[in-house]
Structure 1
Amino acid sequence: MSIRFLLSSALALSVMTSVMAESKNVAVTEAGTLQSKFTTEELTTVTELVISGPINATDLSFVNSELTALETLDLQQTNIVEETKTVDEVTTTYPENEMPSNIFDHNASIKTIKFPSGMTSIGDYAFQYSAIQTVDFSTCPQLQLIREFAFYCTNYLNGINLSGLKNLEIIEENAFNTNGQKLSEINVNEVTIDLSGCSSLKTISDYAFTNTKAASVKINFTGCTALSYIGNRAFNNAKVQILDLSSCSSLETLTGYSFNLCTKITDIILPINLKMIEAKTFPNASSSLVSVKSLATVPPTLVSGGFSATGVTKATLSVPVGAKAAYEADEEWAKFNEIVEDASLSVESAYAESLKVSAQNNIIKIYNIENGATINIYNMQGALVFTQIATDNHAEISLPVSGMYIIKCGKSIAKVML
């Protein structure tokens, strides 16, 4: 085979690839006119699309049904305007700033989407059964509501990063039900459900994150101070190991079956104002359960069967200093293998609002440190893994092992998932 033939073949392949894959930027001045910006050839060749300007349900429907090669969709610079449509004598109004209901239902090509900056809600069934892999929620800081079944059966969704969405209030029923059934096809084994910084989030509805199919699941509730309801089977069958609810200071009741079939849980941290754990909340944390830590000085009502019976007989229960006797006097809490007092759980060790902690690429970043304070970092087994005296008001600390850590800076405490 001659070198000339190989070079010709390579050139032909390059030309063919450039024809098949195409990026396009479109500026729209009038909603409903997006289709007019495309040639017939572009319908099957555009793989990356950036849109700016006003769009509506008609435009997004065109994207879904006609752009068959599209893989990346950037809507950051768009604003969704209201539209009323009548089909078969049925009139439907699509609200402004809402990703329309059913709009990308069963879409088989789009893998990545960036949302409009002013979007406030995602409609029901908007992405169900789609091939979406990556969703950039960081581009829509005004998001308040994710409606039911919005991402139902998104088999390739490889993470749910809602971190920093300070306006998000409700995640409705089945919003992220049954994700990741085909993650093995894209070599993803671990998924993070990151709710950190969702300070207005009040409700995680029934079945919201049920049946996340990854081999390992991490859930980050840091900063979810308004969360008051986690629904029935909300995290059903999640392969989570460390469940830290310590930031959820508004959470008073843990709903039965909310963590059903979570068979890999080893460590649970319960919030300070928890009043009740209903029956079957953790029914399957049996052989895996090692530690339960409760920040509540008054023992929450633990309904019989709230924890797996075999799980509590093996696990250690840690409680604030001075609360041990009250937990031991409770018939259900007394079933734990051992009850110990832990000074780090005491009320006077309040979580400081001023201390800011973040983590990325195995580096923990700490801000607003009191000058001269001692920085201690503990793993979830209580072992001290790092200590130093602060010489500045911020620090960056590298740790080799991923996981949940407790950060103590003087009298301030925070938690971070690395």
Structure 2
Amino acid sequence: MSMILRHLLLIVLIGLFLSVFSSRSFGDSQYIPVQYNSFDNKSYNLFAVTGKNIALLVDSDAYDINVISKFVGKLDLAYDFYKKTTGRAPEAYKTYNNLLTIAVVDSTCGLGCGLLGYTGIETLKDYFQLTYQSIRDQDLYESALLYELGRNFWFYFDQIGTQVDPFVTGFAVVNRYLAMEYAGVQGTTFYGDNASFESLKNNILNNMSYLYFKDPNLDWTNTLATNTPPPNPYDLDCVCLVASLYYRIYSDFGADVYSKFFNALSVLPLAKTKQVAIDNFTTAYQTATGTSHGCSLFKTNFKIYANDGSIAKYTIDDDNMPSAYYGYSGDVAITTFNPKADIFAGSGNNSITLFGSTGGGERIISCGPGIEDVHLKNANNNSQSIKYFLCENILLSNNAQTSIDAMLLLLNK
């Protein structure tokens, strides 16, 4: 063999070697060696596994690639949820091939660290290994990285975040749970305990707002404005109360209105006071729901009723003032004589009976995901305007005249 042919053969063999060992391939997935410069300006040699939206940069190529690829797929879905909810993507900062990066590092600003409004998340190596083991061994998912995605998708500093700080972190707290539902994953605590995860989730999404609503001495001025949570046995902070209030929009109106809320919020002006921040929130709420009579979440100018399901028959008297009933669990028969009462029935199999009277006006009726019947009864033949109606069955009786401006049947929540 001539010297020239030997050199050509050597070049071909070197090329084949580099193509095989520069990345470890497993089916459609592969580890790609990358150099990463961290938030605290440290350099790491990591291995990228890429998806549609996310590049996960791990510290070793010894992880089971099938587990890592599965995780990347779920992170891609969580990204889709956030983009669908907010209507936009984060500004590019930390990326790999134009993908948002999640990097495993030795030090960062917490277990996980996500940039606000920009791409880029870091997580500690020890925490990532726990996350990996939970997926590999139990098919359960730690929630911190889905929470940090919420930091990347936070775009509302000017409108509400600079004045009422819990709005910022509360956004990431509630949406990590909703992103997990969207991605079809079950959560876990650090120790592989799904039951504890679900208990904490329920306390945050439901119980914190219940404690706030049922206490007549609480409103936004002595909770959100002062970063003070309702007294609670869970040792949860005001951020969790805000998460619970965000969740009421999602659970009472559905995903489309929830997305419209954040889209409407994004174009509102800078809030220079706490009151303007609350006003901005209320304006976005009204725009998304198509209503004009305020937002009862802040309890301003509303009489609030809250029922955790322990009262099976609940009656709201006609005191002719704006009111809101917030239900949670249990099967409840709700009767209201107040034509200005909004009804957010909760998750049980409920029945709602509305008696109209003179002075009726715009109202919201949301039955929740259970099987509900709504009975409209009006002895005085007064016209009721139901601005937003989210229920499965409606029964008209006693010659009730009802205008339903927006009827959404069989909501997929």
TM-score under structure 1 length normalisation: 0.28
Bigger proportion of residues as strand: 1
Q: Which has the higher helix share?
A: 2
Highest relative contact order (Cα 8 Å, sep 6+), 1 or 2? 2
TM-score, length-scaled by structure 2: 0.28
